[in-house]
Amino acid sequence: MIWKLVVVAFVVTVAIADVRWRKIPRALTLPAFFAGLLYHGATGQFWNALGAAALGFAIGMALFTLGAVAGGDVKLLAALGALLGFSVWTNAMELTIFAAGAVAAVQIVRHHAVRQTWRNLREIVQALFHRGFQEHPVVNVRNPATLRSPFGLAAAIGTVIAVLR
């Protein structure tokens, strides 16, 4: 139960940082990554946690390559893998995807960007078919004009639900 509280405290802190500063600090993700590996090493689940962290990193890097997430999000996915282990991590990520959609929908409506979002989605899909698996030159998280949602908040929602089930 104490470990669950540690994980919840971590993701809540990450969510607050991401909402407030639009950044997930390495000072949070790196210690969490190592703490997760240490904890799971002590419980005999080291390889399970390392595998989840590696998968989280690989998925995060694929999304980073597309310009869909920033570097802090990649590190967060890896840290959560280490903290949660494979089965809880996969459940948390499934819930995170739904939470990210909900957070994005709120952002889109709040900023009156429904029409622009549909245009951007069409543009991204067309670019994927014509240029392949690469970052879109305009519609990406590095473009300051692009409407972005705090992934740390969505990850916190998904993780808290998965951990406290």
Asked if residue 110 is part of any domain, the answer here is: no
Digit-coded pLDDT (tens) for 142-160? 888 888 899 999 999 999 9
pTM of the predicted model, to two decimals?
A: 0.91
Domain that residue 28 falls in: 2-104+150-164
**DSSP letter at 134?**
S
Domain count, the chain: 1
Q: At what angle do helices 2-21 and 71-84 cross, to 10 degrees?
A: 170
Asked if residue 94 is part of any domain, the answer here is: yes
All residue ranges of the chain with pLDDT < 50 are: none
Asked if residue 70 is part of any domain, the answer here is: yes
Asked if residue 127 is part of any domain, the answer here is: no
Q: How many CB atoms lie within 10 A of CB 34?
A: 12
